Each structure stands twice: as structure tokens, then as C-alpha cells.
Structure 1
């Protein structure tokens, strides 16, 4: 086994609620929040099947709706959201939708706590790729996910900025991170998630599924995350195939959403994460190319795992048991096949040439970006990725 006997596990998640958003107002009351600003995208904000249950669940604690988030997660959008927050005198942000809305809500919280000149924040972000998190208080966040990416139990957020915003002189991407960005509560409602189109759920599900895979072989794995990741993968391995066959219903999504919650439990801890090399590949492919992260994960995950198992053990016994292939003679090959089977059941792309990603001539620069990603440092013990090896995985995936 790669992990040593010693470990340290510091983790302070928000309240986890599994059930109807009809009780959302009750959770806010328990935590002492009075005026909620819902933060979501325009599609969610104008889709009655999604927005109405949330606003009705909030009841008289609904202060307003800010429906302007986008997948780009713009810093300018967070500033607009800050204005909306002040206009509605909100004391809590309810992030509704996918990871983009949650990330924007977190950046809004940082901006609210900092109370600094936008130009100064833009300069800092362009120079350092991050924004200083204030020492004082920040508005709490309640997350209500409608996808399966597993970005909810997290203390980080991604953000971008373009020159058109007037905040930066060159396109900039980066993020913010702080233990206080952990949502105060996360409400998982299978019926609400079932309103999301199958194609969106499928891509986000692959991202969430890979969190469980990586958590088991990460260098900083712990018995706690071993347990939650294994149970989560057990639920996802069958639940995601059923999602692919039957489509999204509350009944289908009940175990899938439970599994998604479990695989992300404990992965984002103060100063560390269990995300590893698959996510580094995802970052390298999505930061410069118009390919959705879940689709990128679906393409590269089997190839990354094949490379990984050729170099190290990668805790393959645990992974094989979690994926239901523990009796296989060649557990490494069986794991790769099981992951590919989930990908195929979700009808995701299988080759880089079939997505809006890089061409082979660009693989060297993509490999450089992957190697520079912070998640590579959390690769399994003994795995030392090289430029040539990364390019080889990209070539195999092409």
C-alpha cells in the first residue's frame, strides 16, 4: 500500500442535507441567516422547474435572485453580484446550479469581505493569479447543486478576467482558496438535480467520479477518505451506468447524488487536496481549449490510469474492490476497463480528436501546462511524470 501509517486529517465541512429544497428556509433559520441572495446562471434563473422550488423553499428569507453567472466564472460577474448583494441587503448567498455559480458566489464573498477598490483587486489578480482573502468575516454560502461535478464540499474557487472588464490588461485565470470558503450548508435534492439535462449531468458526473478514483491513490490519502471514496465509487459505478441507460429521474439520481457527496468528502482540506494527475490533465486541456472538463476527463482518464499502473501500484487493490472488479486476475486492466465502461455508459467522447481540444503539434505545450499544475505534486507515491510520458498519454488519447 502506498500510504504510510501516519496521517493528519483536518476537515470542517458544512452541514449536509439530503432531501427536498422545500426545507431550505428551515436550514437558514437554524443557522441564523435571514436574507438570502440566490446566485445562479440565466438558464437556471429562468427555468421554473429549478428556480421555483428554491425560492419557495426559502420563503420569506428570499431577498433576491442574481442570475448572471456563466461557465467563464468572470471576476466582473462577481463584482456585479456584490452590487446585487448590497442592494438586497443579503446576509447569505445561496449558490444554485453547477460549480460555476458556486465559484462566483465564493468570489463574491471574498470581495464583500475585502471591501477594496476593484482596480487594485484586478491588478493583484493579474499579477498573482489570486485574490487575497480578507482576515475578517465573509458572507456565508449555502450550496444547492444541480450537477454531479462534486464541487460543493470545497474551500477553493476558480475565477477568470478579461481586458474587456477593465480589471486586467491581459486574459487572466486563477483562483481563491481559504477554509472559510467552505459552504455553511449543502443541500442535495435528487428531484432538483433531475431537472438538469442528461448531457450536462453525464459530463459533470465523470468529473465527480474521477474525484473518487484519485482520492484513493493520492499521496495524502487517509482512512477517512478511503472509506468515503470507496463507498461513493460503489454507488457511482452502478448508478452512473443506470443514469446512462434510463436518464435522470429522482429515483435514478438518489444513489448517484449520495455517491457524489461521498467521493468529495474530505478531498479539499486546509492546505491540501486529494485531487491528482487526472485533474491536472483536465486543467491542462480546459484552460486553453474549449473542451468541457467532464468530457476531457472522460477522454483521458483510462489512458492516465493505464500509464499510472504501468509505473506504480496506485493502490489498485482498493480501486478494484470499489469498482467491483476485485476478482480480476489483472486488476489494473480491469480498473481501466471499468472506468471506460462508466464513460461509455454516459455517452461521453472517447478521443481527443473528437472534442475541441489540442492537435498533436500542440501536445508539448499542453504537457508543460499539465506538469506545472499543482495537482501533479499529489500523484501516487513513486510516480514521477515526465514531459515525454505526458505527451505519450495525450497521443494515446488522441
Structure 2
């Protein structure tokens, strides 16, 4: 078994990756070194009420803690971000600390983006109803963001995100209207002790979303040896550790390996067609993205392997199969079986029909959303996806 360091630091695109048990205890020193004096924690209500999780963070920040905004929701609505902005102004905070899963980290980043923008929420919604939302000025001086992830969604080492301005019911197009800007966190404190305080259900819901970031990178049309190396090693760690880490067994080693794996698959990640499927469902329903990924990933991989190579040798190696001496079909089967095995070991959903709200009659529209989704531009070279082909995958997954 490949070893994992007890702790490490690494700078990635201006973000300090700080890993290790108890590393959040260093938050005060980190803030002091950067002349940041008032930190506002941004999280959801469940995280805010989890004393076992919050106490190490608030103690780590110490006297620099300005307050806690615990109003984020999975919906990532504009109200969430503007609520955080309002609290930031009231507490005179000069740095945001996003804590929790992907939604809270995205809201913290977008609160940073829109804090100096000057437009009110009402003004942004007016623009959305008129058909064009002007993006925030990337040259605005934004308050820095630190993230403290507690799930495996893989949303921490990222500058992206968005907030929903209009729901589908409110939108003139019948589709949600979202807006966002780029804000890379200055630091990511990845503390396995905190992941261990997260309820198993939340870890399970995030697991496949994070795993699929590693799966998608090797077959992206702009993949390179550096991104391949991080993704394959990340898959090695995640494929064995995730089922043990989220199973409520208090497996310390598995948790450490899963946290490191979730960091690795985000290095130069290249999300593609599986994420496009997830986004297609998000256009229609309020679903946990990890659940959608769990269902569709094996079906999408079968579809890809029927059409193109899709980095199957690299993926097989990531899932523990030596590609030497294997035929192309054997590699494809090994990858699909491995992904299905991880999914089943997590006891994740296996059929679209079992997800809340989903309707079979919506599949043609979802297929259109998938084909038009921006990550499809990174689909494997040689793949020519069609609405009909994507709809066939959806029906197989139904």
C-alpha cells in the first residue's frame, strides 16, 4: 500500500494546500502572517450546530473570529451569498472562511466576488429578468477566502462557482438563471479530523462527485502527463479508501487516504461528460450531484469506451488493474466494474428512477442540456456526442 504523508503543504495556483490532522489549529498564525484580523465563518446550519466540527476551527482562529454566518443552503441561492456579505459588513470582517461541503465553499467564494460589486440583489435579479446579467468586474479588490472542506465533493481547490438569481419558476426562460465569478481561495485547510465529524450521509453524498473528478481528467481532450499523474494517484487512494472512510467505521487510515485523494484529483482537474450529465439534471431538479454521478458514471463510461479509447489504460491503473497484456475490451470492462464496485460499496443510488423528482418524460430535455453543457467541450477527442446518444445513456440508467 502506497504511504500517505502525515502532513504536507503545497502551493497550487496561488492557494496554499495545508493538510494534516489538527491543521486548523494553525489558522490564527496563518491569518496573522497575512495581516488578516477579522474572519467570518460561512457555513450551513447543520455545520454551524456541529460543535465537534466547529470548536477546533473557532479555537484555531482564536481572537480573530469576527462571527459565524450559518445561512448557506445546498441550493446556493443569491440570498445565501448576500446574507454572508451583509454579515461581513456588520462584523467588519476582512476574510471569509468557508466551512463544509461544496455549497458552502461556493457561497463563500461568490460572497467574495460580489462584496465589492456594488449592485444589490434586486438589481442583479432585474438584469436576469431582462435577459443579460453583467458579470462582476474581475479587477475588483475582493476579500480573501480560506476554505475548510468537510466532504469529498472536491469543491475546495477551485476558483469557480455560481449563485442562483432566479429559480426555474421565476425565470422568463423556464430555466434557472445563475451568475458567478472567479475567486481562488488563498488557503485550503484539509483536516482529516474534521471529515471524521461529518455525518456519514453527507460524506456518502459527496463521494462519487469527488471520485468522478479523477475519472474525467485522464480522458479529457486537453489532458497532459501532469494532470494524469495527479488523477491516477488520486484514484488509487480514493477507490480503496472511500468505502471505508464513509462507512462509519472510524477507520483513521482510510480517512487520511481519502482526504489526500480528494485533493489530488482536483489538481489540474478537467471535468467533462459525467459532470455535464450532473449539470443536466441540475437544470431540472434540486438533486444532490453525487447521487446523479453515482447512477450515471458506469453508463457514461460504457458509452465512452464504445466510441473512443477514453484513457482506459490510465483509468485501469488508477483502479488497480495492470494494463499490460490486457485487450482494449478487457481494460474497459475492468474500469466499469471497478467504478460500479466503488459505487455499490458506498451503497449509493443505482437507478435514475430512484432519485427524488425525476421523471422519465424529462429525459429528452435533459439530454439536450447535457449536450450543450460547457464541460462537454472537454469530452474525449474523437467523440461526437448527439442528443440521441445521450438520451440512450439516460434510458439505460433509468
The residue matched to 1:177 in structure 2 has which SS?
coil
2:49 maps to 1:46: yes
* Conserved 8 A contact 2:218-2:311: yes
Moved over 4 A (4+): 166-171
C-alpha separation between the residues in 2 aligned to 1:96 and 1:194? 14
* Residues 313 and 108 of structure 1: CA distance in aligned 2, closer, same or farther (over 3 Å): same
What's the TM-score once normalised by structure 1's chain length? 0.90
Query: In the alignment, what sits opposite 2:366?
Result: 366
Query: In the alignment, what sits opposite 1:294?
Result: 290
* Conserved 8 A contact 1:191-1:249: no
* Conserved 8 A contact 1:162-1:170: no
* Conserved 8 A contact 1:243-1:346: no
* Conserved 8 A contact 1:34-1:61: yes
* Residues 161 and 116 of structure 1: CA distance in aligned 2, closer, same or farther (over 3 Å): closer
Q: Give 1:18 shift.
A: 0.6
- Gaps spanning 5+ residues in structure 1: where? 1-10, 268-273
Q: How many residues align?
A: 380
Query: In the alignment, what sits opposite 1:6?
Result: none
Greater RCO, CA 8 A, separation 6+: 1
Q: Give 1:130 shift.
A: 6.7
Q: Deviations over 1:85-109 (max 9, x none)?
A: 0111111000000111111111211
Query: In the alignment, what sits opposite 1:148?
Result: 152
* Conserved 8 A contact 2:38-2:92: yes
The residue matched to 1:37 in structure 2 has which SS?
strand
* Conserved 8 A contact 1:212-1:264: yes
Query: In the alignment, what sits opposite 1:223?
Result: 225
* Conserved 8 A contact 1:41-1:97: yes
The residue matched to 1:114 in structure 2 has which SS?
coil
C-alpha separation between the residues in 1 aligned to 2:171 and 2:294? 35
Query: In the alignment, what sits opposite 1:392?
Result: 392
* Conserved 8 A contact 1:209-1:263: yes
The residue matched to 2:162 in structure 1 has which SS?
strand
- Aligned mate of 2:234, from 226, 232, 235: 232
* Residues 245 and 40 of structure 1: CA distance in aligned 2, closer, same or farther (over 3 Å): closer
Query: In the alignment, what sits opposite 1:377?
Result: 377
C-alpha separation between the residues in 2 aligned to 1:359 and 1:373? 20
Q: Give 1:285 shift.
A: 1.5
Query: In the alignment, what sits opposite 1:325?
Result: 321
C-alpha separation between the residues in 2 aligned to 1:316 and 1:170? 39
Q: Give 1:265 shift.
A: 1.0
Query: In the alignment, what sits opposite 1:95?
Result: 98
* Residues 363 and 168 of structure 1: CA distance in aligned 2, closer, same or farther (over 3 Å): closer
- Aligned mate of 1:212, from 205, 211, 214: 214
Q: Give 1:32 shift.
A: 2.4
- Aligned mate of 1:108, from 111, 129, 137: 111
C-alpha separation between the residues in 1 aligned to 2:380 and 2:167? 39
Query: In the alignment, what sits opposite 1:271?
Result: none
RMSD across aligned positions (CA) = 2.2
Query: In the alignment, what sits opposite 1:275?
Result: 271
* Residues 168 and 156 of structure 1: CA distance in aligned 2, closer, same or farther (over 3 Å): farther
* Residues 203 and 163 of structure 1: CA distance in aligned 2, closer, same or farther (over 3 Å): closer
2:26 maps to 1:17: no
C-alpha separation between the residues in 2 aligned to 1:199 and 1:13? 32
2:91 maps to 1:71: no
Query: In the alignment, what sits opposite 2:5?
Result: none
C-alpha separation between the residues in 2 aligned to 1:29 and 1:355? 46
What's the TM-score once normalised by structure 2's chain length? 0.90
Q: Give 1:169 shift.
A: 10
Q: Give 1:359 shift.
A: 2.7
C-alpha separation between the residues in 2 aligned to 1:198 and 1:177? 31
Q: Give 1:392 shift.
A: 0.5
* Conserved 8 A contact 1:207-1:293: yes
